[in-house]
A and B are shown apart, each in its own frame.
Chain A
Amino acid sequence: MTKVTITLDGSTETVEQREDDTILQTARWAGMRVRTSCEAGHCATCMALVVEGRAEMLVNDALEDDEVEEGWVLTCQAVPVTDAVTVVFDP
Chain B
Amino acid sequence: MSSFARPAPGTWTEHHSELGTGNVSFEDSISPEFFELERDAIFRRAWLNVGRIDDLPRKGTWFTKELVAARTSLLVARGMDDEVRAFHNVCRHRGNKLVWIRSPREDAAGVGRQFVCKYHGWRFGLDGGCTYVHQQDEFFDLDEETLGLAPVHCEVWAGFIFVNLQPEPEQTLREFLGPMVGALEDYPFDRLTDRYSFRAENRSNWKIFIDAFQEYYHVPPLHTHQLGPTARNPEATFEAAHYQLDGPHRMVSTSGSHKHRFPAEHLYPSEVLFRSGNMGPWDAPEIEGTRNGVNPGEVRSWGIDNFQVFPNLELLLYERNWYLSYRFWPTSHTTHTFEADLWFAPARTARERLAQEYAAITVKEYALQDCGTLDGTQMGLESRAFDDFPLNDQELLVRHFHHTVGRWVQDHLSSTLRGAP
Q: Which of A16-24, A40-48, A51-59, A80-88 contacts B (4 or more CB under 8 A)?
A: A40-48
Residues of A within 8 A of B80 (CB): 64
B75 CB to nearest chain A CB (Å): 12
Residues of A within 8 A of B99 (CB): 37
Contact with A along B86-122 (1 / 0, CB 8 A): 0000000000000101000000101111111010010
| Contact count band on B | 10 to 19
With an 8 Å Cβ cutoff, the count of chain A residues facing the other chain is 13
Q: What is A's interface to B at a CB cutoff of 8 Å?
A: 35, 37-38, 40, 42-45, 47, 62-64, 90
Q: What is B's interface to A at a CB cutoff of 8 Å?
A: 60, 80, 99, 101, 108, 110-116, 118, 121, 123, 132
Dominant SS at the A interface? loop
Residues of A within 8 A of B101 (CB): 35, 37
Q: Count of A-B contacts with CB under 8 A?
A: 42
8 Å CB contact of A44 from B60, B108, B121 = B60
The answer on a CB contact under 8 Å between B111 and A44 is: yes
| CA distance in complex: A47, B111 (Å) | 7
Residue of B nearest to A48 (CB): B111
B78 CB to nearest chain A CB (Å): 13
Q: A42-B123, A43-B123, A44-B60 are in contact. Are A37 and B116 (CB under 8 A)?
A: yes
- Could you name 5 residue pairs across A and B whose Cβ atoms are closer than 8 Å? A37-B116, A42-B113, A44-B114, A45-B110, A47-B60
The answer on a CB contact under 8 Å between B111 and A45 is: yes
| CA distance in complex: A45, B99 (Å) | 11
Q: A37-B99, A42-B123, A44-B60 are in contact. Are A62 and B111 (CB under 8 A)?
A: no
A21 CB to nearest chain B CB (Å): 22
Q: A42-B123, A43-B123, A44-B60 are in contact. Are A37 and B111 (CB under 8 A)?
A: no
The answer on a CB contact under 8 Å between B110 and A35 is: yes
Residues of A within 8 A of B60 (CB): 44, 47
8 Å CB contact of B113 from A35, A40, A43, A90 = A43
Which of the listed residues B101, B111, B121 has the most CB atoms from chain A within 10 Å of its own CB?
B111
